[in-house]
Structure 1
Amino acid sequence: MTFNPIQFKISWEKLPKDFILDEHPLQDIDQPLLAAALRESLEIAGLILEGTLVAPHLAICVNFNDKLVIKTPDLFYATNVHPLPDREIRRSYTPNLEGDIPAIVMEFLPENPPSYQDEYSAKQTYLPGKWHFYEQILQAPIYVIFEPASGDLIVYHLNSSAQYEKQQADANNRYWIAGLGLFLGVWQGTKGERTGYWLRWWNESGEMLLWGAEMVERERQEKANVQQRADRLAAQLRAAGLEPEA
């Protein structure tokens, strides 16, 4: 995608405490489930450290040509995020002022997205489209677009010309996300009440980061395997005329 750059002024200022955020209902139940699943596996793997913000549908704020612009990715991951004062609730995130630029921003597209061409466009004027916001204003290194209904995943990375370029998948059809040190890919199956396509993380060794229920099942299976081995050994000892120790 080619841009004709225009002059614009950017400043990073915290959202005023009395600012009322517009409340837009989620377009479907897939968006929060997908975001929660991605966050859960990171947390279980111990990859959400102090100062890490993995936030679903949280407002990212910037002043663009002296006007406030707010965009809410379905999920983003940022590091070196400053802690909030006691009892203050995080209502928004202002990069550069409160922490790093997000290493990755994600959008999960509904099956029939309203105003798709406008909301996710490269529109440069106020209000800018999400593509232009993430690429030219936020300059997030990785922009992910996922369609849960079809399982289509497109990953863009910011190239040396500060423009998004489509990233190629590896032999396993996964994408290396340098800012997290993980691969991102599509997995098909069931979690909770939802069956379909999911985004999943894999580490450098190719091991998939598990969800909580999968960890429990793996531990249950490992205990069952140990018990089976113990039972076989006990049977072999009895067949040899020996009584196994209790």
Structure 2
Amino acid sequence: MTAFTQDYQITWEKLPDDYKLPDDPVDNINQPALAAALTQSLELAGKLPPNALTPTNYGICATLNGKIVVKAPDWAYIPKISVNREDVTRSYTPQLQGDIPVIVIEFLSDTEGGEYSIKPTYPPGKWFFYECVLKVPNYAIFEPDSGDLEVYCLDNNTGRYVVQNPNENQRYWIAQMNLYLAVWQGTRENRTGNWLRWWDEQGNLLLWGSELAQKERQRTERLAAQLRAAGIEPQD
């Protein structure tokens, strides 16, 4: 499958087995926790289909004029892969192995700010790659320390990203997922700070496992209290 963007001929080819992927360290100790939290709440809410893929700091590939380009967003949501999961253990090539990601998310760190790079020459910048090569419908950039969240959507007419405004609850609608994305403050896994979280169309927060467990404990305690009030000692 071939497409043309700028002066590039884009092809979708499987990464060669002998291709050496960059072994870059994670920029920030919080990034794995932020990414895992996004995936867990989707899974527990039943909103992660069996063939969906949520790669974290994981190579997404395209071939431009015969040269391989690999970018590794901090988190992405791919609705459906068309191959076995064993075939995407090192990298993922859209079009060839499944859907284009519907959203990519970058967590800002103290690096050079490459998340905003529109460099079109080889190797292209991240912004250019997501916008003009992959044509990812939604691109989010999150700064965990400040809690600043920017969400851009691909304009179908111009093919360029347009900044989105949140609703009255400061949530951004991700149409392809039928979910809202927004910043939430609180504690998870001993980290207190800003997190990215999902809300459904009715405004219900998609809960993490620890929150579901707490909710169940509270339900059990309320039921036990009601039984005791009725003169019945609950069974352990």
Which category describes the TM-score, using the shorter chain as reference length? over 0.9
- 1:207 lines up with 2:204 in the alignment: yes
Q: Which amino acid aligns with 1:219?
A: E
Which 4+ residue blocks in structure 1 deviate beyond 4 angstroms?
none
User: Which among 168, 175, 179 is matched to residue 178 of structure 1?
Assistant: 175
Q: Provide the rounded CA distance (Å) in 1 between the counterparts of 2:83 and 2:216.
A: 35
Q: Provide the rounded CA distance (Å) in 2 between the counterparts of 1:212 and 1:191.
A: 10
* Structural mapping, 1:100-179, within 5 Å: 100-110=99-109, 112=110, 114-116=111-113, 118=114, 120-160=116-156, 161-179=158-176
> Cα–Cα, structure 1 residues 125 and 217, in superposed 2: closer, same or farther, change >3 Å?
same
Q: Provide the rounded CA distance (Å) in 2 between the counterparts of 1:88 and 1:182.
A: 29
Q: Provide the rounded CA distance (Å) in 1 between the counterparts of 2:224 and 2:134.
A: 54
Q: Which amino acid aligns with 1:137?
A: V
Name the SS of the counterpart of 1:197 in structure 2: strand
TM-score, normalised via structure 2 length: 0.93
> Cα–Cα, structure 1 residues 147 and 82, in superposed 2: closer, same or farther, change >3 Å?
same
Does the aligned pair in 2 maintain the 1:61–1:92 contact within 8 Å?
yes
Deviation for aligned residue 1:84: 2.1
Q: Which amino acid aligns with 2:18?
A: D
Deviation for aligned residue 1:88: 5.2
Q: Which amino acid aligns with 2:46?
A: G
Name the SS of the counterpart of 1:190 in structure 2: strand
Aligned residues: CA RMSD: 1.8
Deviation for aligned residue 1:89: 5.9
Deviation for aligned residue 1:245: 11
- Alignment size in residue pairs: 230
TM-score, normalised via structure 1 length: 0.89
Task: Look up the match of 2:45.
Answer: 45
* Structural mapping, 1:4-83, within 5 Å: 6-83=6-83
Task: Look up the match of 1:241.
Answer: none
> Cα–Cα, structure 1 residues 121 and 89, in superposed 2: closer, same or farther, change >3 Å?
closer
Q: Which amino acid aligns with 2:41?
A: S
User: Which among 188, 200, 216 is matched to residue 219 of structure 1?
Assistant: 216
The superposition leaves residues 106-154 of structure 1 with CA deviations (integer Å, 9 ceiling, x where unpaired) of 00011x2x222x4531110011111100000010000000000000000
Does the aligned pair in 1 maintain the 2:227–2:234 contact within 8 Å?
no
- 1:234 lines up with 2:235 in the alignment: no
Task: Look up the match of 1:92.
Answer: 91
Name the SS of the counterpart of 1:61 in structure 2: strand
Does the aligned pair in 1 maintain the 2:228–2:234 contact within 8 Å?
no
Q: Provide the rounded CA distance (Å) in 2 between the counterparts of 1:218 and 1:65.
A: 54
Q: Which amino acid aligns with 2:108?
A: L
The superposition leaves residues 2-55 of structure 1 with CA deviations (integer Å, 9 ceiling, x where unpaired) of xxx832110000101121211000111111110000001011111111210111
Does the aligned pair in 2 maintain the 1:84–1:90 contact within 8 Å?
no
> Cα–Cα, structure 1 residues 185 and 40, in superposed 2: closer, same or farther, change >3 Å?
same
Does the aligned pair in 1 maintain the 2:224–2:234 contact within 8 Å?
no
Larger Rg: 1
Name the SS of the counterpart of 1:146 in structure 2: strand
- 1:187 lines up with 2:184 in the alignment: yes
